[in-house]
Amino acid sequence: MAPPFTKPLERRAFVRATALRTVLAAICFDLFESIVKLSPCASTPDGGSIFLPHLPPVQRYLVSTGLTLCTGLTVVFGFTFMHELSALVAVGVLGHPPTDWPPIFDAPWLARSLAEFWARRWHQMLRSTFLDLGGYPLAALLSPLGKYPKRIGLVMGSFIASGVMHDLGMWNLDRGVRFHALILFTIQGVMVLVEYVFRVVTGHRVGGLPGRVWTYTMILIVGQPMSKPHVSLRSLILHTDSQFLS
């Protein structure tokens, strides 16, 4: 499902709004990427650990959490910049209708649950890919066992497919494959199912301020290894690694 339009759909107004958003996205992308590069973990092309061993534990986790947030925002505004620039060319030069270019993100920082974050507010460009490669096949495999196993297959298959794609992306960058993304996206899928169980048991969806805190915790804390995917799980726990990573 595409996010709702937030720009005027009259062609000239759309082009003006898109041009402004292209510039703003480029500035935000440069800002957050520059903040990440202030850390030793990104001071060289080889990268490094987001956990700085010389800092006390509290400061170390604050830095790693801040870097994880800035890394995510770099992705958001980088993708947004390319999307807005493409829309600007497509509508302003090639004559595409503005309705062909809805927003790519729906303010992911406003998510009040993991299900809302992944199914609506994060970009959905690969939604069909993950469903076709993982969600639907696993759901079909588990469907003879009943409705709930089928739902588990749909959710877990999609997240597993996403994890595999991200790990293969790192392999394609000559970073090797350590299956950290697979583990992390599998955890995200499990937590989405936990939210579903909560709704079934209580009759209420995860939401409000507690839901937002939960979502931020699952993304910014549990998701920290995605910012340093080549560290071993043991060194991730102990934070003793000094090897330069991605």
Q: Are 216 and 199 in contact (CB under 8 A)?
A: no
Report how far residue 3's alpha carbon sits from residue 1's, in angstroms, rounded to the nearest whole number: 7
pLDDT the model gives residue 74: 94
At residue 8, does pLDDT exceed 90?
Answer: yes
Helix ranges restricted to H, 93-179: 114-116, 127-130, 136-142, 147-172
**Which tokens go with 237?**
């726990």
At 213, list the tokens: 């805190």
Write the burial class of residue 200 (CB in 10 Å: 0-12 exposed, 13-18 middle, 19+ buried): exposed
If you average pLDDT over each of 40-44, 155-159, 239-243, which comes out highest? 155-159
Predicted pLDDT at 173: 61
Q: Which of 143, 187, 145, 141 is nearest to 163 (CA)?
A: 187
Task: Answer yes or no: are the C-beta atoms of 88 and 22 closer than 8 Å.
Answer: yes
Residues 6 or more apart whose CB falls under 8 angstroms from that of 49 comprise: 41, 228, 231, 239, 241, 242, 243, 244, 245
Tokens of 191: 């937590």
pLDDT tier, 47 (very low <50, low <70, confident <90, very high otherwise): low
Query: Is residue 105 within 8 Å of 117, Cβ to Cβ?
Result: no
Residue-wise pLDDT for 206-230, tens only, equals 999 999 999 999 999 887 866 554 4
Distance CA 50, CA 75 (A): 17
Q: Is the pLDDT of residue 41 over 90?
A: no
Mean pLDDT value across the chain:
86
pLDDT in tens, 75-112: 999 999 999 999 999 999 999 999 999 999 999 999 99
Q: Can you tell me the mean pLDDT for 12-39?
A: 94
Q: What is the DSSP string of 117-133?
A: IIIIIS--TTHHHHIII
pLDDT at 42: 67
- The pLDDT tens digits for 137-176 are 999 999 999 999 999 999 999 999 999 998 887 776 666 6
Look up the pTM and report it.
Answer: 0.84
DSSP code string of 20-82: HHHHHHHHHHHHHHHHHHTSGGGSSTT---SS-TTS-HHHHHHHHHHHHHHHHHHHHHHHHHH
pLDDT at 243 over 60: no
Model confidence at 245, pLDDT cuts 50, 70, 90, reads very low
The percentage of the chain sitting over the pLDDT mark of 70, rounded to a whole number, equals 85
Q: Residue 7's pLDDT is what?
A: 93
> Within the chain, what is the greatest distance between any pair of CA atoms?
56
